[in-house]
Amino acid sequence: MPSFSSIPLPPALHRSLETLGYAEMTPVQAATLPALIGGRDVVAQAPTGSGKTVAFGLGLLHRLDPAFVKPQALVLCPTRELADQVAREIRRLAATIPNLKVQLLTGGIPVGPQLASLRKDSHVIVGTPGRVQEMIERQALPLAKIRTLVLDEADRMLDMGFEPAIREIVKHLPPKRQGLLFSATFPDDIRRIGRELLREPLEVTIEGADEQPEIDERWFEAELARKPAALAAVLAQYRPESSVVFCNTRRDVDEVVEALGRAGIDALALHGDIEQRDRDEVLVRFANRSCSVLVASDVAARGLDIKDLAAVINYELPHDGDTYRHRIGRTARAGAKGLALNLVAPREMQRAKALETLRDAPLHWSAIRTVAKVDDLHAAMATLRLDAGRTDKMRPGDILGALTGDAGLAGDAVGKIDVFPTRSYVAIRRADAGKALERLRARGIKGRKVRVVRL
């Protein structure tokens, strides 16, 4: 593939790419970047994990005037998790551009702090359609100088009913702007909205965007009342290092987490009723391997940046083939093989048959092994939360030094360290977590006492 050096980007962006280790372009980047930099509208079909965020991130940053501190680019995403992921990637790409500001606007958190943040102008706005529309209605978000509009995972935004909000937002944008639409699928609605909102866009389809990755799909019959036991049994049978269990409703998510807990399996819930801080902690614990089972609804899980996911388990089958494909595709990223386990109650058999017809291949039905008692399925790591973060000048190196120095832990006992503005999280080998907690509470970090709790 061609290298980024062949693209006429500003020197600052080339420095960022070199720092991040981005040398060769992915197919979607090679196909779209020349048009993006040339100012042309683009509609691109590309699978998750194909590098599209870097593509449109470079495109919108190329068009920005850093000296003009007003919103110049707007990126709309279907969920707050994806919006947060996109905002972080744009900040990484813009690290060499002095004082460039990216503002995140999503629902699920109080509107007050976001209103306060908007009083300080930004260059790039990344958000969900509902919250962006609310800020426009409050006359808190000026969009008259927007140069680039990005609709990321547009197919999912339409599936979630955001088309009216998107159209209302577009009414407030200047007519002369660049429009970029990225989608994993190309249904008729995507083509229609592309024609209506963009100007003679270049259409790009990445080869393999519609192909399923290599996933071992297993199907199990389970009576509805026996599904919790069946789930525990398949987890004990396959023992995935990490898995996401999908449910169709928030209530079922909570019930499944409780049932797994009774069976001796640690699991965490992720759905729309969970407060933002708690959601952040759930995702930190899942990413640092101190929780191996995440039970989630589709909306909550959309856009999650989950690397090396061993298995996806459909506790309940979704109602359509696209959702099924999105779910199981999370377990086979970047060419890795995946595992999808599907529990099917009698009332769901018609959905299974519909998926079989859609696949044009027979389903692989397996028997669930009877498990008298679930062996220890605890995660290998545990998480400690420290009530100090970037605003307290806390750094990952400070935490690592305290643990391997004063606390006396071996380096391989310490896992991923995440530092947020007011809190920090560190994964500790489960057998050493008690010792680490005791030592940090007693000795602090760099001579400073810090409140520490085990999650």
Q: pLDDT tens digits, residue range 155-164?
A: 888 877 788 8
Mean pLDDT value across residues 310-337: 81
Among the listed ranges 107-121, 126-140, 167-181, which one has the minimum average pLDDT value?
A: 107-121
pLDDT of residue 305: 57
Within 21-142, residue ranges assigned H as helices are 27-37, 52-62, 80-93, 111-118, 129-137
Report whether pLDDT(170) > 80.
yes
pLDDT of residue 119: 85
Helical axes 11-20 vs 52-62, angle rounded to 10°: 160
Q: Name the residue with higher pLDDT: 101 or 410.
A: 101
Report whether pLDDT(64) > 80.
yes
pLDDT of residue 372: 56
Structure tokens at 425: 């999280």
Mean pLDDT value across residues 170-177: 92
pLDDT of residue 304: 61
Which CATH number is 381-454 given? 3.30.70.330
Domain 4-205 is classified in which CATH homologous superfamily?
P-loop containing nucleotide triphosphate hydrolases (3.40.50.300)
Report whether pLDDT(435) > 50.
yes
Report whether pLDDT(146) > 80.
yes
Query: Using CA atoms, how far apart are residues 338 and 169, in angstroms rounded to an integer?
Result: 38
Q: What's the burial of 203, exposed, middle or buried (CB within 10 Å: 0-12/13-18/19+)?
A: middle
Please name which of 136, 163, 141, 154 lies closest in space to residue 201, comparing C-alpha atoms.
Answer: 154
Mean pLDDT value across residues 203-207: 82
pLDDT in tens, 208-246: 544 556 888 999 999 998 999 999 999 988 888 889 999
Shared fold status for 215-359 and 381-454: no
Q: Which CATH architecture has domain 215-359?
A: 3-Layer(aba) Sandwich (3.40)
pLDDT of residue 322: 76
Mean pLDDT value across residues 286-304: 79
Mean pLDDT value across residues 2-25: 87
Residue 105 β-bridge partners:
127
Highest mean pLDDT among 138-152, 186-200, 404-418: 138-152
Report whether pLDDT(109) > 60.
yes
pLDDT of residue 373: 62
| Secondary structure class of 4 (helix, strand, coil) | helix
Query: What is the distance between the terminal CA atoms of the chain, rounded to a whole angstrom?
Result: 44
- DSSP percent split of the chain into helix, strand, coil, nearest 5: 40, 20, 40
Report whether pLDDT(308) > 80.
no
Report whether pLDDT(376) > 70.
no
pLDDT of residue 126: 95
pLDDT of residue 121: 84
| Secondary structure class of 311 (helix, strand, coil) | strand
Tokens 């520490």, located at residue: 452
Q: What residue segments make up the domains of the chain, in order of their start? A: 4-205, 215-359, 381-454
* Residue 166 host element (H or E): helix 163-170
Q: What is the mean pLDDT of the chain?
A: 86
| Secondary structure class of 449 (helix, strand, coil) | coil
pLDDT of residue 272: 74
Report whether pLDDT(271) > 90.
no
pLDDT in tens, 337-354: 789 999 999 999 999 998
pLDDT of residue 300: 59
pLDDT category at 22 given cuts 50, 70, 90 is confident
pLDDT of residue 71: 94
Q: Using a pLDDT cut of 70, give the percent of the chain over it.
A: 93
Among the listed ranges 70-74, 146-150, 271-275, which one has the minimum average pLDDT value?
A: 271-275
176, 18 contact by CB (below 8 A): no
CA within 13 Å, CB half, 24: 5
CA distances 170 to 132, 223, 275, Å, are 11, 48, 30
Report whether pLDDT(324) > 60.
yes
pLDDT in tens, 380-405: 889 999 998 888 888 888 888 888 87
| CB burial readout 158-189, b (16+ within 10 A) else e | bbbebbebbeebbeebeeebbbbbbbbbbeee
| Secondary structure class of 137 (helix, strand, coil) | helix
pLDDT category at 268 given cuts 50, 70, 90 is very high
pLDDT of residue 210: 47
Pairing of the two strands 381-386 and 452-454: antiparallel
Report whether pLDDT(150) > 90.
yes
